[in-house]
Amino acid sequence: MSVITKASSAAATQPATEARGPSSVPAHVAIIMDGNGRWAKRNGLPRVAGHREGARAVRRSVEASIRAGVSWLTLYAFSSENWRRPPGEVLDLTGLLRHYLRTEIQELHANGVRLRVIGDRERFDPDICEALREAERRTAGNARLNLIVALSYGSRAEIVSAARTAAVAAREGRLDPARLDEHLFEQFLFTAGMPDPDLVIRTSGEQRLSNFLLWQAAYAELVFLDVLWPDFSGAHFNQALAEYARRERRFGTRPS
């Protein structure tokens, strides 16, 4: 299996529908947006410039999803571990989040995007929490693209929290432990009611999940792109879709 896909192949500009027909477009794409710091360093700029440029790539990935007919896009924007970055960088990142919540929601709304957040959002300042709630409320009726942003998100904490909720429900007699199966357990995750990702893309050449959707990505195809996130374009998105379309998915079953 080739894991790193060079970011320059001719397939990049082709839609991903040829190999297996229209159904080979993934319904849900999740992206680990990595490489902002390296991009800034490469360009002799402060890290915050990389994050700012990364936000433009977010816009491109939303547009590319809509164009390709992907209906769910999950973006890993800030991990629970990212709180341990230097305070100045955390301040830059939360400041950018605050700024984009003010300036981008109208455009997303106009484009029929429904925004939702997964993660431990209460760790952000109250004004950011309020802006997130308001953005979710405002876009709740949209259905063209479901945009899920993972903020202060960590998959292990999510799973532990789900287990705790189930345990409390069992203790209080609201849940029979014998009835707890995968389907029921999923209802306690942040992603309750959302489809699992079919395709997980990570940029910057790193090949790990970094605590992202560990439960939900159990059967996802993983595509690692050798491009830094601020350079990510619609062509890279299509390249990942083309790679997805080429792969045969068996879900643990025997080849037919």
Give the contact letters, 111-150, x = binds to ligand IPE (CB under 6 A), - = no.
----------------------------------------
Residues 165-224 that bind ligand IPE (CB under 6 A): 204, 206, 208, 210
Of 11 and 236, CB closest to ligand IPE = 236
Rounded CA gap, 240 and 9, in Å? 11
Distance in Å, CB of 34 to Mg ion, minimum:
4
Does 78 bind ligand IPE (CB under 6 A)? Our answer is yes
CB 91 within 8 A of CB 76: no
Distance in Å, CB of 54 to ligand IPE, minimum:
6
Give the residue among 147, 149, 153, 93 at the shortest CA–CA distance from 119: 153
Does 79 bind ligand IPE (CB under 6 A)? Our answer is yes
Distance in Å, CB of 98 to Mg ion, minimum:
21
Of 229 and 244, CB closest to ligand IPE = 229
With residue 237 as reference, give the H or E element that holds it. Answer: helix 234-246
Of 188 and 229, CB closest to ligand IPE = 229
Rounded CA gap, 126 and 24, in Å? 41
Residues at the interface with Mg ion (CB under 5 A): 34
Does 32 bind ligand IPE (CB under 6 A)? Our answer is yes
Q: Count the site residues for ligand IPE by CB under 6 A.
A: 18
Q: Which does 32 bind (CB under 5 to 8 A by kind): ligand IPE, Mg ion, none?
A: ligand IPE
**DSSP class of 125:** -
Alpha helices, H only, 20-142: 36-42, 47-68, 87-110, 126-139
Of 24 and 191, CB closest to ligand IPE = 191
Q: What are the residues whose beta carbons fall under 8 Å from the beta carbon of 199, sequence distance 6 or more? A: 26, 28, 29, 30, 220, 221, 223, 240, 241, 244
Handedness of CA 69, 198, 6, 22 (dihedral sign): negative
Does 37 bind ligand IPE (CB under 6 A)? Our answer is yes
Residue 48: φ, ψ to 5°: -60, -30
Q: What does the binding site for ligand IPE look like in residue numbers (CB under 6 A)?
A: 32-38, 76-79, 82, 93, 204, 206, 208, 210, 229
